[in-house]
Every structure is written in structure tokens, then in C-alpha cells.
Amino acid sequence: MALGHVTFLPKGFSTFAYQEILEDSRIWIGYRNTVFYSVRGTLISLFFTLPAAYALSRKELLFRRFFTFYFIFTMYFGGGLIPTYMLIKRVGLENTPWVFMIPFSVSVFNLIVTRTYFESAIPEELHEAAVIDGCSHFRYFFDVVLPLAKPVISVIGLYYFVGRWNDFFTGLIYIRDKNLVPLQLVLRNILIANQVFQEGVGLGGEAGGYAQRYADSIKYGLIIVSSLPVLILYPFLQKYFTKGVMIGAIKG
């Protein structure tokens, strides 16, 4: 731009960055791992969050206020990194895929949003009618509540998925096996340590000098590649997203 070679239209077109990225085996290993962690972890989080939110939304639940306070308390006070690391190591989750899915599987924020949605968006008359027909809480939850809760399920599902997709800290602390490294940790190593250019972006160092000239192109291309799944997923959930957030935020 300073030399006056580029004004409005780009000068030249090259797919070098994307070619080098897609030829790097570490990218595909990270993609495979992150997709597995994100999808499986989101399902596990929904499995725990939805029943807990439903239980907290029922006024007849004994010690309901105590359990709510018990969950909210964890939003302000935690054990810290060292006790958490010792716990995860003690239970055998270190350096395993499950460390991305089991610990921190429930977000209290998502739990409160879901509970508020159940309280405000699903009429109590539905439960009364279900009880008259002899419906248990389990059947009411699966047959009535969940079909009506698609907006909030989509919202918190997207929250959980994006959170796991962007998670690199868990892999940085608990993962030693290169075959278990998530995509975001690969991206971090490339952006910070410039590792991908020193190794020739999957070409074994043969094109290291050539790739160095395209450092910025490869970094930005890598960001696009790593963001595509979320960008593709969002439009399908957009119609539920706004409705779920607004209804779930009517009262706290």
C-alpha cells in the first residue's frame, strides 16, 4: 500500500496458504480431535444441564434455594488450577480425551438460563394437565418439556460447542500425546512459536524459506479454516438463538 501497488482491488491471487495448511497432517489431526471433543462434549453437557435445570425450575423441589445457591457459589469461588490439576490427575483423566468432556461439563450460566426458560416459557398448566393424565416427571420432561425447549437447547448447545471448539488451555495443561492435541492448540503453536514455518508447513522443511514469505497469509488462512465449522453451524441455529436468549433472560 505504501508503494502504491495496491489501491482497491487485490493484486494477484494465490491459494498457496490454503494448500500448505491442508497438506499439514497436524491440522487434520487437530480437526479430528476438536470435532470429536466438541460434539461429544456438547452432548454430555446437555445431558447433565437440561435435567438439572428442569429440577431447579420445579417449585416443589425440596431445598430448591439451597441447590441454586450451591451452583451459583461455584461461579464466584473455585479451587484454582493446582487443586484442579491434582484432582484430574488423581482420577486418571490426564492425557485422555475425556479431560475435554467430563470436567467442567456443566456451565452454571447455561444452567441458570435454561432454568429460567423452563420457568418463564413453559406454562405450569401443561404440567397440571400432565399430572391429571398420570404423567410422571420423567415422561413430562422428555415428552413435553424438551420438544418445547428447542430454542434454549440450541442456544446453550451452541455455547457449549463454541466453548469447547475454542478451548486450548485444557490441552495445554493436561495433554502430552500429540495425537490428542486439539486444533486450537495447534493454531496457538503456529501463531506464537512460528512452528509451522520452521517445519515447512507439512513439507518437512523443504519449503521453509518460501513459506516464511507467506507467513501472514498462512496465519490468517489458518484462522479461517479453524473458524469454518462454527460459521457454518450458526445460520442453522439463528432462528432459535435470539428467541432462546430473550426468553431465557426475562427474569433471573
pLDDT digits (tens, 9 = 90+) for 199-209: 555 444 444 44
Q: Could you tell me what percentage of the chain is helix, strand and coil, using 3-state DSSP and rounding each to the nearest 5? A: 70, 0, 30
What was the pLDDT predicted at 186?
83
**Rounded CA gap, 16 and 19, in Å?**
5
Q: Are 110 and 159 in contact (CB under 8 A)?
A: yes
**Rounded CA gap, 147 and 3, in Å?**
60
Q: What is the mean pLDDT of residues 107-134?
A: 88
What was the pLDDT predicted at 128?
86
Q: Tell me whether residue 193 is exposed, middle or buried, using C-beta atoms within 10 angstroms of its C-beta: 0 to 12, 13 to 18, 19 or more.
A: exposed
Kindly report, residue by residue over 37-74, the tens digit of the pLDDT.
999 999 999 999 999 999 998 888 888 889 989 888 88
**Rounded CA gap, 49 and 233, in Å?**
21
What was the pLDDT predicted at 46?
95
Kindly report, residue by residue over 9-27, the tens digit of the pLDDT.
777 777 777 777 777 788 8
Kindly report, residue by residue over 25-45, the tens digit of the pLDDT.
888 888 899 999 999 999 999
Q: How much is the pTM?
A: 0.80
Kindly report, residue by residue over 128-138, the tens digit of the pLDDT.
888 888 888 88
